[in-house]
Structure 1
Amino acid sequence: MNSNSTLTNALPIVAAAYGRKFGVQIAIGGNEAKTNGKVIQIPAVADTAKSLAYGYLAHEAGHVRFTDFTLSRHTQPLGRFVEGILEDVRIENAMIRIYPGTRTTLDSVMDALIADNTLVPVNAQADPVEIFGNGLLHLSRHRYRHQKALRTHAKQADKVMRRVLGTRFVHRLHGLLTEIPTLASTTDSMALARKIVSLVEEEAQNPTPHPTTSEDDKHSEDDDQEHEQSAQGSEGEESEAENQEGEGADDGADGTESDTDNPQGEDIDDGSGGEQQSTENPAQSTENPAQGAESQTSDAQPVGSDIKNALQSALNATEEELPEDVFATVAETLSAESISSPTLLPTKEHYVGNPHVGRTALQRVKIHSSKLTARLQGLVQARTLTRHRTVQRGRDLSPARLHRAGVGDPRIFRTKNDKVAPNTALHLLVDLSGSMAGGQDRIALDAAMALALALEPINHVSRAVSAFPGLRGQDQNVTAILGHGERVASRAGAFVQDARGGTPMTGALWFGAADLLSRSEDRKVLLTLTDGAPNDVLSAKDLVTRATQAGIECIGVGIGVYVGRLFPVAVRIDDIADLKNELFKVAEKLLLR
């Protein structure tokens, strides 16, 4: 049980579940976290960084699903920065609406950044561009992403921004930010960003003198109270909708998400928890540089020229002067904490191949597969046939055995002896590394096609076939040949490939294990056709051991070699003529216990 939990909670398995659930491609490997708008990649990291990794995956999945990367960005660095903040809030809210459990996963990122002092309250002595940038971030995320951990940060940002950038500017900025809940696309986020930049330009040309401190605080408190009232109502509706939908909507096929989702972590801002968080003891208060800076600003009130200069400074800021994007910081942290390892979760690439050549291969394989199919069907039928036998006790009499009572034989009752039909999910991995060239690659693909074809008519057996490495020899890819539920005839062209690249077996095994753990069948079988020379023998053997302990049956089919050193169950195929007998032995192991 513990070993199964260890495997299902492993980063590659959870990441694969995220990928299926969110409809995105995820790869685990390398030494940096990044995305190209289609594939999200993160490195293998220690358990201590897993919450950041899951939050990063959920956030970037939101961008892959909801952000239009083809649109032209704002011409100014400040405009692009504002676009990023608004789009981040929009896509995270979109993810939470579809997958309510991602709220906790995403919020855990902010919790971690605050805990390690990466995300600190706005300091009145900081540069105006930092005050504006971080202030906008804290206000947007607290008020419109409803992240309670940023409550104190948002209040501090509002006060400091009013003192440095002017109350009228902040008041008008709050008015624009109320449009965030209505943003429905990347275009909308960009349009709102342009309005905010235009506001900065306008106020930089015509600033108003700074009010007194008491008036400033009153504006801040009024705005905050008004927001709290509206936020409580909207979050209450959101929470009720989430409760009706249920956390199970976010569990994914294998339920791995449930380990990180905490129903009590739902962000329902009732105004009480935040007040406790914002109440500081005297020691904390004296250690907060922003608090001390506020006292200084109250002694020397900025005038119109000060506000103008501050806004102009923010407007003219370069990329380097602007605060770093929150999830760029997370990516850097994940990259810094990466663990050196082979690719643990490759991404799937689809391949059609040559249908004409595929049909030729299909006809060749059918010669061996047809007899194999007949033997397997007979085997399954014999094992699942309902048989009757007579026993000494029971409820149903056997008419043909009643005469036994006259001679003192009590075996006159009939009982059924039902055999359970096979209920198996199979994933075949085909090694197409360079060492398989020279005919072994053809034998492996023919064997995979023959077995998939033979199992096709067997009820309650689902099979998938993948090849590794990728089509161009990339370790970070596997090639999809046959999916669960697909017919071999429709995918025959994909079975025609050539050997290439190395032998990234560990990643392929992770890929196959993740696929099987998402299936509902009782039995799960991972079958690998290989010449037995993986790039990393130790990691491949370790994964086979972990998968076996988790209930996945691992079988190795050696092409021209015995692979018993890697797999607990192994057979050898030297020639296409061996397919019929050897594959029957393999199939017998698949269908019968």
Structure 2
Amino acid sequence: MNTAVTRYRNQLLVARILSGRYQQELVVSTKASTASTDGDRITYPAAWMLADNEDVAIVMDGIIDHEAAGHGRHTDFHARRSRTPIVNRMENILEDIRIELAAGVDWPGIPRNLARMVAVLVRWGVFGNAELLMSPYLDPGALLCNAMLLNCRAKFLPGQDEHLGMLAAASGRAAEQRFGMLWTEAWRLAQRAPKLTSTMEACKLAADIVKSFKLPTKPDAPEPPGVGNGSAGSEQEDGEAGSGSGPADEGEATGPTTPDGQSGVGLTPKQRAAASAAVDSADKDLPQTDLGDLAGAAVNTHSTDARGRVALQVPKAVKGTQAVPYSWQILATRLRNSLAGDLAAELDTLVSRHRSYGYAGRELATGKLFRLRLGDGRVFRKRVDTYELDTAVTLLADVSSSMGGLMGVVDRVSVQAAPHSGSGYVGDTPVIATTRYSVTRMDVSGGAAMAIGEVLEQFEIPNEVIGFGRAYQIIKSFDDTWSSTSGRSDAVALGASATATGMAMTIALSRLYLRDEARRLLIVLTDGEAGDPEMLASAYAHAKSADVEVVTIFIGNSTSGINQTRAAMKSGGYAGQMSVVKSHAELPRCVIEAVRRSI
């Protein structure tokens, strides 16, 4: 049975058990984007059946526990919730802490499942990174939400500090710098979260935390009785459930105070402004703080990306739409002139002797008769000794849109006739003209493939060039010549929006497998931004098992892309067979090294 379907059914079974225990209805919806509950029913997305991924499965397990055993069992959905965005975000954080702790008492395995889910979400970047969390440009309201969410989960929920600890510390330091003692007081109030026993208590605590950030207009303005000290005289905020109702715990204050009772004294103007901005934040400026919604959105995004990667793995051929670009030809000429001498000398030293089937004789080799259908006359038993490079080479050139980055300029020098006036030529000295052309990564990729192919053709080494983006195209087949390819008006198609390197590499390998040469070499020219990393790793592994030499030449300095492809190379056994070209001038040396290692 399909793994994804099996997981999906198992998760539905768990959801059904939990919903049955708490007298709730389980509904599988094609319209739902995440699992959720309203107290009467648990809704589960039908689309999650396609999420065939171990990390996604872990997150889905955690969402079911969070929604069904947490909110479904312990949340009061009739409790009055605040209409103020920042208060609502605090309510979500505190209620999640309360219901997850309660669910862990009911089901001892749930804390472990939730910790595993948080570990995956951290790896996916759902909670951001330390640099982002500490950015001075982060909106004050977003900073307050992030700091409270991360610190509450890290400090109060078992097993989550291991994964959230560093992020919690970073956001806590940022909040302390931005809000001063207001953050200290807010965090002191948040210490009551593990002791909450109802949704109403969580709502009241959220309102108290936000109220601690509300300051008088001026630092030295006298405060009305009760404001800032939690007395019963404070008025309830509009729309904030339970805010200010009833006395605070003994010895606790609902707002930061100094020894003289003045709220907000000691804050810098920037801290006061940040506190005011945080309290007044619009809903669109605040991040999501409900774990179920955060995780559900992450699953949908991750599953969509995975389906996109699967689509890239489906081989798709396209026809050329234009002639070989002039920029390729200019760069190829320069590279060929640089390559020809050294590469020719290198190839001369590699000429090898081997025995091959002859083209004449009396006895047929019946096992080779299939060649006649392909126009190949090597079907006789007679063998002859020949001296040649018994190697086939495929050049795989990345022509996707990510290759559009500039890599410098090329000067093209030309000789022109001397200018003349009405009375005749000014002189006999010809004019030297220089034209400058910008060079992109795509020019380097295509020009290099063209230059290498032309030099190989001089030595009668079979070579093929395949361009790729989202689809692949045979720019020059083994049977074509470079002169015929250069003259075609439909040689290439450029600028695809995606980079299916693994798919294109699989096509190139499948065509190389059909060659009779003793050695087969694949040279990959790319910036490393592969859109199908799983298939790319598989392609490298298949190449190793079939004894195909693969050399990868990275064009440009896309660190993330190069690291991604290097990981695939390492898993396939090609960790060291690579070069990085940061300018077109470095390309000849990299090609010579590739040939020396592999042909």
Give the TM-score range, shorter chain: 0.3 to 0.5
TM-score of the aligned structures, taking structure 2 as reference length: 0.38
Q: Find the structure with the greater CA-based Rg.
A: 2
Between the two structures, name the one with larger relative contact order (CA 8 Å, sep ≥ 6).
1
Structure number with higher helix proportion: 1
TM-score of the aligned structures, taking structure 1 as reference length: 0.38
